[in-house]
Structure 1
């Protein structure tokens, strides 16, 4: 490649990989807004939809849950559904970002910052 330049050839290769990784990272970040996940609780009676970035976009509650006596139960189910949606969003984001470094020849010992 750059014969006679010693480690500079390796550095050029790493810089080229870093540029490719940055481009892939930007593309993956843009896709995170289009990936949606749904968390649920209470056997699907409470559902929450979120983007892979964790932004909540919808909440759905089965009408049979609406009684004054069950208010605390409904609140707990909504909280559980939100946490489920957030966990799924984090997993979807991690899977999307892990693809950024796939196939790259990272130096030994360098960890994937997304995995």
Structure 2
């Protein structure tokens, strides 16, 4: 069943760790990515969602150049099709990490 953004939690994404996702950028670039981590933050208030961050690893050679942040279409068979705001992080070795924060 696809993940609903309004109620999504880190627990929804943990089973997808290591899975492949397709990321489509506003430039039209389509790249393959792996869900590398799901990290929870400290809750702000008991009636708010616990914040969490998804980190996707993209091959550095395929990450779109000049794009530092964008609304990205993220697709996976289990997660469905999600439109998420992603931010590029400092590349290292052959990896270009992209983070998506849920607050």
TM-score, length of structure 1 as denominator length: 0.27
Q: Which has the higher strand share?
A: 2
Q: Considering only CA atoms, is the larger Rg found in Structure 1 or Structure 2?
A: 1
Q: Which has the higher helix share?
A: 1
